[in-house]
Chain A
Amino acid sequence: DVKVTQSSRYLVKRTGEKVFLECVQDMDHENMFWYRQDPGLGLRLIYFSYDVKMKEKGDIPEGYSVSREKKERFSLILESASTNQTSMYLCASSSGGNTYEQYFGPGTRLTVT
């Protein structure tokens, strides 16, 4: 059974703080993704990675960066948190190749005050 875990379920940070969200998957998946989920906007892709040290911008990368130093771990970084980054953040992974199913983590509800 695929397991995707995220470092925190709830996080409260102040404006201007540097924020790290971590995601770990245990199925040796090639691809990992970071989304943010806002009501009415669905899931919007921030960044994804198809290999260690590789990353590609998604649809809304501004204000975010990522790091993938190990295959199982994908980190999302908010360099200077702002109130408009208050959201639910979901990590996902997929095995790659011709298999596209994405497995999601439980999400991190981030509030920036």
Chain B
Amino acid sequence: GENVEQHPSTLSVQEGDSAVIKCTYSDSASNYFPWYKQELGKRPQLIIDIRSNVGEKKDQRIAVTLNKTAKHFSLHITETQPEDSAVYFCAATAAGNKLTFGGGTRVLVKP
């Protein structure tokens, strides 16, 4: 089955700097790659996703890039703000709804 590895496990950045989280996946048939954000004490929520026919997708300060050849994808957050502090999870799936999640990255934005 699919295996997703996520790095780093923790990330501390100064407010205004950029943050990058990287994930690798094992199943070359995977074709959907979402990112979820979980604020402290709250439920995970989808923030951005990308499908395998697209190499990059951007939504305001967040962007996701996908390299199918290398089987990795990344989340980029620019101009970080305190409200970006959260745990971020990447996921991958070749089977539509059956997501395999990475281990999560705890991001701390220091003012």
B89 CB–A CB distance under 8 Å: yes
- The CA of A43 and the CA of B4, in the complex, are separated in Å by 11
Q: Which of B53-61, B78-86, B99-107 contacts A (4 or more CB under 8 A)?
A: B99-107
Residue of B nearest to A6 (CB): B43
Find B98's partner among A4, A48, A90, A101 (CB 8 Å cutoff).
Answer: A48
- CB neighbours of B97 from chain A (8 A): 31, 33, 48, 50, 94, 96, 100, 102
Complex contact B103–A40 (CB within 8 A):
yes
CB distance from B64 to the nearest CB of A (A): 14
Complex contact B1–A59 (CB within 8 A):
yes
**Chain A residues numbered 69-97 whose CB sits less than 8 Å from any CB in chain B:** 90, 94, 96
- CB neighbours of A107 from chain B (8 A): 43
Complex contact B44–A43 (CB within 8 A):
yes
CB distance from B19 to the nearest CB of A (A): 18
B111 CB–A CB distance under 8 Å: no
Complex contact A104–B43 (CB within 8 A):
yes
Residue of B nearest to A94 (CB): B97
Complex contact B99–A45 (CB within 8 A):
yes
- CB neighbours of A94 from chain B (8 A): 97
